[in-house]
Amino acid sequence: MNDDQLLRYSRHIMLDEIGIEGQERIMAARVLIVGVGGLGSPAALFLASAGVGDITLVDDDQVDLTNLQRQIAHTTARIGMAKIDSAAAAMRAINPEVRVHGVRERMSQESLLPLVTAADVVLDCTDNYATRHAINAACVSARKPLVAGSAIRFDGQIAVYDTRHADSPCYACLFARDAVFEEVACATMGVFSPLVGIIGTMQAAEALKLIISIGEPLRGRLQMLDGRTMRWSEIRLARDPDCAVCRHR
């Protein structure tokens, strides 16, 4: 770690739980972020500012005027730009040392698997049920921890699914892969702007905790936020022994 890095990350290094060794682990880490919208924007910016060495962004969308109410990685000047390129520009402006890779496509489980395998931690920042399950299945297959967040209207939730631990459920243990329900999107239901910042920032925090191996991650715990009252509730998640995705891990 050079002098500039010691200065840049000094507030992390001052923390006994992180120190120089922990910051070096952050700088050597590889993180995959799927979705660079409302959740992925703050997650990507905080992980870049924290010094995560290698970050891959996956998103097939481009910046639209309606995004700017909540997707803080993007700007008016970058309307029409691919979200992965817009977010990468914002991340490099904060921290030029971060290596940012972009994949502009909607991924399947098969195409996600090599990206997940190469990562240390995966963040699900999407708003699509099928994609969420594809990410989860790839993480189970590659035995990589998944930090999943969601936000709609005034309601947010976050959990960590880490099937490296025998008692940890996967996303499909809680949300059945073959469940039939109506997709809810921000475009039709709306979302409270700061809510995605709260959940996305927490996703970054959980990812950093997993990288450094500090504290207690949200493994097997689903935290839910009611943004109207700013009250949190938490439920414990049990592994489903009959889960079609993770029962044979």
Note the pLDDT of residue 107.
85
Mean pLDDT of 64-76: 97
CATH fold of 23-236: Rossmann fold (3.40.50)
For 33, 117, 160, the CA distances from 164, given in Å and listed in that order, are 19, 13, 12
| Contact in structure between 9 and 51 (CB atoms under 8 Å) | yes
pLDDT at position 64 over 70: yes
Binned at pLDDT 50, 70 and 90, residue 247 comes out as: confident
**Averaged pLDDT score across all residues of the chain:** 94
Query: What are the residue ranges spanned by the domains of the chain?
Result: 23-236
| pLDDT tens column, 24-63 | 999 999 999 999 999 999 999 999 999 999 999 999 999 9
Residue in this structure with the two tokens 């991340």, named with its chain if needed: 91
Residue 210 CA neighbour count, 13 Å, CB half:
29
Residues 240 and 110: their CA atoms lie apart, in Å, by 24
Note the pLDDT of residue 112.
95
pLDDT at position 188 over 90: no
Note the pLDDT of residue 189.
80
Q: Higher confidence at residue 66 or residue 176?
A: 66
Mean pLDDT of 185-196: 83
Q: Higher confidence at residue 160 or residue 188?
A: 160
Measure the CA angle with vertex 165, ends 115 and 12; round to 5°: 70
Note the pLDDT of residue 162.
96
Residue in this structure with the two tokens 């079609």, named with its chain if needed: 244
Q: Does the active-site annotation cover 243?
A: no
What is the pTM for the complete model shown?
0.95
Binned at pLDDT 50, 70 and 90, residue 196 comes out as: very high
Note the pLDDT of residue 179.
65
Residues 3 and 146: their CA atoms lie apart, in Å, by 33
Note the pLDDT of residue 109.
85
Residue in this structure with the two tokens 């709306």, named with its chain if needed: 190
Catalytic residue selected from 125, 186, 243, 246: 186
Measured in whole angstroms, the distance separating CA 208 from the mean position of its chain's CA atoms is 11
pLDDT at position 183 over 60: no
| pLDDT tens column, 91-147 | 999 999 999 999 999 888 889 999 999 999 999 999 888 999 999 999 999 999 999
